[in-house]
Structure 1
Amino acid sequence: MEDNLPYETSLPTNHKLLDEKEKDPEVDPSVYRAMIGSLTYLTASRPDIMFSVCFCARYQANPKKPHLKAVKWIFRYLKGEPKLGLWYLVVGGLDLIAYEDADFGACPINRKSTSGGILALQEAACCVVIHL
C-alpha cells in the first residue's frame, strides 16, 4: 500500500460491491474482518469514512474480492487525507453524559418498541454532541 497513489474519495460514486451474474473469488474472512475492525475503530475520529466502512462491513460473513478491493480503496483514501478528522484536545477533565429513552410497544401500527439516545462529551468550554 505504500507505493500506491491515494484516492480523493472514500468510495467511488455508485460503487457496486457484488455483481449477481459473476462468481467472484472468496478472500480470507479473518483478514477482511481485521481490516474492517481497524477502520471501525478509526471512524471515531474520521466521520468522513463512516458510510464507506459500514457499507463494506455488511459483507463480513462472506467477503469476496470486490469487497476487499473496496476496503483497500478506503485505506488509500486515508493515505491521501492524513490530517482530516476530529481531534479531541484534553486540557481538563471530560464528562460523558448519556440520555436514553425507550417506549415499549409505542408504535400504533405494529406495536414495536421505539428508543433513542444522545451522548454528550463535555469540557468546561465546549460540547461535542453525538445523536444515536
Structure 2
Amino acid sequence: MATARLDADLQGTPTDQTKYHQMIGGLMYLTASRPNIAFATFVCARYQARPMVKHLKEVKRIFRYLRQSYNMGLWYPKDSNFELIAYSDADHAGCHDDCKSTSGGLQFLGENLVSWSSKKQDCTALSTAEAEYVSLSAWCAQVIWMRTQLLDYGYRFNKLPMYCDSNIAIVISCNPVQHSRTKHIDIRYLVSFYKGTC
C-alpha cells in the first residue's frame, strides 16, 4: 500500500464517515490473524475523524488485497523449537500530518509469530536513531511482559535476542552514557533512570 501519500487532505472530498468506520472496524478485527495488513490498516485508521475519498480508496485497496490472498494466514506447527525472538523497527517522521514516527515489532516463539504491533509514536523524534531507540525500548517492555507470561507456564528465558536495524539505537541502549548528540534522548526517555545519580 502506498501509505507515503496519505495525509489529512483537508481540501479533499469527504466520504461517508459511518461506512468508513465500519470498514476500518472490520479490518482491525482481521489484524488479529493477518499481521500483513496491520500497518496499512492502522495508517488508514488515523483518518476516521474526517475520512476523505482518497482514504476510502486505500481502504478498498486493502480489501482487494484480502480478496486475492484469502488463503494466506498464520501457521503454527507443533514441532518447532521454543525460543523467544523479537524484531523492532521504526520509520522517521513517516506521518505527514504531525511528523511523528511509526514503531513496529514482531515476536516469534520458535518459528511461530505470536505478537505484532504497528503504532504511531507519542513524541516527535528528532532523528532516525531516536525513532529506532523509542521503538526498541517500547518493544523491550513487550518482550519482558511476554517472558513473564511464559514464566507462569514454566518456561524460563535468560537471554532474549532482540533485532534492530539501527546500529546507533543498539549502541545507545547498550551504553547509556550521556553524549552531546544523545542528550535530548537522555532527557526525554531516561530521566527517571538517572534521577538518583544526578
> Which TM-score tier does this pair reach, normalised by the shorter chain?
0.5 to 0.7
Question: C-alpha distance in 2, partners of 1:120/1:44?
Answer: 19
TM-score (norm 2): 0.38
Work out which of the residue numbers 11, 19, 38 in structure 2 matches 1:31. 19
**Aligned pairs (5 A) from 1:43-54:** 43-54=31-42
Query: Whose relative contact order is higher, 1 or 2, with alpha carbons under 8 Å and at least 6 apart?
Result: 1
Question: C-alpha distance in 2, partners of 1:61/1:120?
Answer: 36
1:63 matched to 2:51? The reply is yes
TM-score (norm 1): 0.55
For the Cα contact (< 8 Å) 1:18–1:66, is it kept in 2?
A: no
Aligned residues: 85
**Aligned pairs (5 A) from 1:107-126:** 116=142, 117-118=145-146
The root-mean-square deviation of aligned C-alpha atoms, in Å, is 2.7
**Aligned pairs (5 A) from 1:1-132:** 11-12=1-2, 15-18=4-7, 23-86=11-74, 116=142, 117-118=145-146
SS state of the match for residue 5, structure 2? coil
For the Cα contact (< 8 Å) 2:8–2:47, is it kept in 1?
A: no
Identity of aligned residues (%): 45
For the Cα contact (< 8 Å) 1:27–1:65, is it kept in 2?
A: yes
Alpha carbons of 1:42 and 1:87: their partners in 2 closer, same or farther (altered >3 Å)? farther
Question: C-alpha distance in 1, partners of 2:75/2:20?
Answer: 27
